[in-house]
A and B are shown apart, each in its own frame.
Chain A
């Protein structure tokens, strides 16, 4: 009853109710896909709030949860089928440089099979994305990135929601709070912290949690977020992204770029693999070339795609020649590719040549690595135990790094309280609970940091009315981002209108959240009205003459 009154009132006030002759067909019911509530409670609640807002515009909206792999199947492999979905881009250190997301998300070449799964196609954007990739002057590049953000803001291919904050907690009687390192866009849960945290007492193992088991631990596989915390410290890289978001020399102790197409590296001396063999230049060359072998490492292949050749130029030096200038190469490739032992993996790659499997699915029984930590045992469904590598130059102060798989959020909080874990690293629940816990418990410290990543509603531009600019602008305008940040994400998020997070201060377009075309409910209605949409009896109709030709999602 109340709903009916509300609709009538709105229709009367907005004054764009019309008779059926002035209008096209009614817009079909829209299905907003999302993850199940238990898996992603904040996203789910956000979806419900947004669906409510869209209903006020006169749309019929169904929120439909799909579980895990069925969700991925539909969104990724059935791109003609869905209307809109909640989605996210996770923050990783390698994404400290905006190139990866700027290029992959919106360049039209990636629409069929790649990360441009919404089907956005704008030649002006393609040009901008390509230019920024090759522009090595940082000020010029910055200007290009700003332009790109303004363009996307105008076109609204995504309804950006928020940049989440990473909320973690730890036991401050076990760990010296001052010894944690905060990394831009990541927070304190990062490789630098694991290398530098100092135990205060007897407990010298860091025990943390993960809500999802990693698929495997393998230098040629990019696991989900939690799995990468482990692989980042087990396998070394030539460079690493530092706490300031900029690349630092790591396994390569010197990195020079004499010209736009050349990168010269000097390999650090004295590194050893966990099986005792020394790390050689051949290993480095292999690690840079192997992902390009056929399709055996498809996840890493794009990151070596720009490498024309790798040549050994001295007893510890090598030279990489690129095919075209690449501003982000040091971050998106050299800080991402793992150093893998040639004496183990060359044979594996050879063996795989005639088999359907890729290198990603191989799980070594005793993985050989050269990082600051090495794998003691990995029972992927229960826990992963790493121990500090005794000879590694970074000298971690902790003995072991143990990750416990705990799918239940309540249980993981309880585990922190009881001491079963001493670092709550994967917390998807209500942040207020953690803050209350920290207030009431002298042992617990909470840390919140704005993430590089973002959450958004993806609009499938292959299906009307999402292919219509005015429609997208309107439905994006009614998303109350501040409300989502405060209520759905419990204050552990900030409104977003760009794929670049404010945590990346250099690249983020300041104030873009407020430059949304439309920006509120009344303005959204005006956009629709000006574009010819009409409300008939409370339901949104296409402009006159337009038929609804798309079938609703089943």
Chain B
């Protein structure tokens, strides 16, 4: 209860983070309650009399109009939140898990483990993100799985480095020395004592990783390597692009998914920026 009050008080004083949290709240709500909120089935080809309901403008029946394929834009936008969260959260958890684990091992165990992990990180940092994802998508079947795997495989080094630094400094603390002296195993010290201390920092990187994952999925979809069965904002943009929505002036179709992506990624940035103050109060003095 006290933790909740701390967070709320913090948010009050930290407007950026508050906005970020609010955006996430809206998106999570959209995702959870999509079947209730969305006016239509996002994949249903709607009819306008006998013909397909293509490119209908904004109206009372279709608040954001329809696509070239006769589908309701607003319903797609709402359901898109599900794909966004799915990709974002899965990728973020993967990045944080891998990065934290490797950073922890490298930082605490040192020696050859540290060298190995750091060399490995250097190699991974040498692999360009989008090209790798492209090639991997061509290798397997295109889709969100490829995006998540690419994000997990390529974006952990930065997290690992930072975690490693923090673990290095934590390692010298008195309480760790005390735990060692009382006979705790290395593993126990690492995972029970040190790990919880670095988790907030890891979570920070996680919130940014969500954003990168969504942008990666949008780019993959745009290049034609997205998952055609899913309704994600990236696929909506690719659909609009392929159907020449810009030439048609169908801003109602093309702008909302892009804006949704911007807002969701932005939210991650805002939260992580604001969080610096919460996690590292000394920085607030600057």
B12 to chain A, nearest CB (A): 42
With both beta carbons as reference points, the residue of chain A lying nearest to B246 in the complex is identified as A410
A531 to chain B, nearest CB (A): 28
Interface SS, A side: helix
Q: With an 8 A cutoff between CB atoms, is A45 at the interface?
A: yes
Q: With an 8 A cutoff between CB atoms, is B2 at the interface?
A: no
The total of interchain contacts (Cβ-Cβ below 8 angstroms) comes to 55
B27-51 contact mask (Cβ, 8 Å, vs A): 1 or 0: 0000000000000010011000011
Q: With an 8 A cutoff between CB atoms, is A413 at the interface?
A: yes
Provided the pairs A38-B241, A483-B50 are in contact, do residues A433 and B248 lie with their beta carbons within 8 angstroms?
Answer: yes
Bound complex: CA A413 to CA B244 (Å): 10
Q: Which residues of the other chain, B, contact A62 by a CB distance below 8 angstroms? A: 229
A44-60 contact mask (Cβ, 8 Å, vs B): 1 or 0: 01001100100000000
Bound complex: CA A409 to CA B247 (Å): 10
Question: When the two chains form the complex, which single residue of A36, A67, A410, A487 contacts B54, counting CB atoms closer than 8 Å?
Answer: A487
Instruction: Establish whether residues A37 and B248, one from each chain, have CB atoms under 8 Å apart when the complex forms.
Output: no
Q: Which residues of the other chain, A, contact B44 by a CB distance below 8 angstroms? A: 2-3
Instruction: Establish whether residues B69 and A48, one from each chain, have CB atoms under 8 Å apart when the complex forms.
Output: yes
Q: With an 8 A cutoff between CB atoms, is A341 at the interface?
A: no
With both beta carbons as reference points, the residue of chain B lying nearest to A408 in the complex is identified as B241
Question: When the two chains form the complex, which single residue of A3, A41, A409, A430 contacts B41, counting CB atoms closer than 8 Å?
Answer: A3
Q: With an 8 A cutoff between CB atoms, is B243 at the interface?
A: yes
Question: When the two chains form the complex, which single residue of B52, B239, B246 contacts A37, counting CB atoms closer than 8 Å?
Answer: B239
Instruction: Establish whether residues A487 and B242, one from each chain, have CB atoms under 8 Å apart when the complex forms.
Output: no
A38 to chain B, nearest CB (A): 4
Question: When the two chains form the complex, which single residue of B224, B229, B248 contacts A36, counting CB atoms closer than 8 Å?
Answer: B224
Q: Which residues of the other chain, A, contact B45 by a CB distance below 8 angstroms? A: 48-49, 52
Bound complex: CA A312 to CA B251 (Å): 67
Question: When the two chains form the complex, which single residue of B51, B228, B229 contacts A487, counting CB atoms closer than 8 Å?
Answer: B51
With both beta carbons as reference points, the residue of chain B lying nearest to A65 in the complex is identified as B228
Question: When the two chains form the complex, which single residue of A2, A409, A487 contacts B52, counting CB atoms closer than 8 Å?
Answer: A487
With both beta carbons as reference points, the residue of chain A lying nearest to B69 in the complex is identified as A45
Residue tally, chain B, CB below 8 Å to A:
22
With both beta carbons as reference points, the residue of chain B lying nearest to A68 in the complex is identified as B224
Q: With an 8 A cutoff between CB atoms, is A518 at the interface?
A: no
Instruction: Establish whether residues B52 and A429, one from each chain, have CB atoms under 8 Å apart when the complex forms.
Output: no
A118 to chain B, nearest CB (A): 25
Instruction: Establish whether residues A433 and B244, one from each chain, have CB atoms under 8 Å apart when the complex forms.
Output: yes
With both beta carbons as reference points, the residue of chain A lying nearest to B45 in the complex is identified as A52
Question: When the two chains form the complex, which single residue of B70, B229, B242, B246 contacts A38, counting CB atoms closer than 8 Å?
Answer: B242
Q: With an 8 A cutoff between CB atoms, is B68 at the interface?
A: yes
Q: Which residues of the other chain, A, contact B244 by a CB distance below 8 angstroms? A: 409-410, 413, 429-430, 433
Residue of B41, B44, B54, B238 with most chain A CB atoms under a 10 A cut-off:
B54
B221 to chain A, nearest CB (A): 10
Bound complex: CA A48 to CA B239 (Å): 13
Instruction: Establish whether residues B247 and A410, one from each chain, have CB atoms under 8 Å apart when the complex forms.
Output: yes
A258-282 contact mask (Cβ, 8 Å, vs B): 1 or 0: 0000000000000000000000000
Provided the pairs A37-B238, A38-B242 are in contact, do residues A433 and B69 lie with their beta carbons within 8 angstroms?
Answer: no
A352 to chain B, nearest CB (A): 32
Residue of B44, B50, B69 with most chain A CB atoms under a 10 A cut-off:
B69
Given contacts A41-B243, A45-B68, A413-B244, 8 further A-B contacts (CB under 8 A): A2-B41, A3-B41, A67-B224, A430-B244, A430-B247, A433-B244, A487-B51, A487-B52
Q: List 14 A-B contacts (CB under 8 A).
A: A3-B41, A3-B44, A37-B242, A38-B241, A41-B68, A41-B243, A45-B69, A64-B228, A65-B228, A413-B247, A430-B244, A483-B51, A483-B52, A487-B52
A residues near B (Cβ < 8 Å) are 2-3, 36-39, 41, 45, 48-49, 52, 62-65, 67, 409-410, 413, 429-430, 433, 483, 486-487
In the A-B complex, the 9 residue pairs with the smallest Cβ-Cβ separation, listed nearest first, are A38-B242, A487-B52, A37-B242, A433-B247, A429-B244, A41-B242, A38-B224, A36-B224, A430-B244
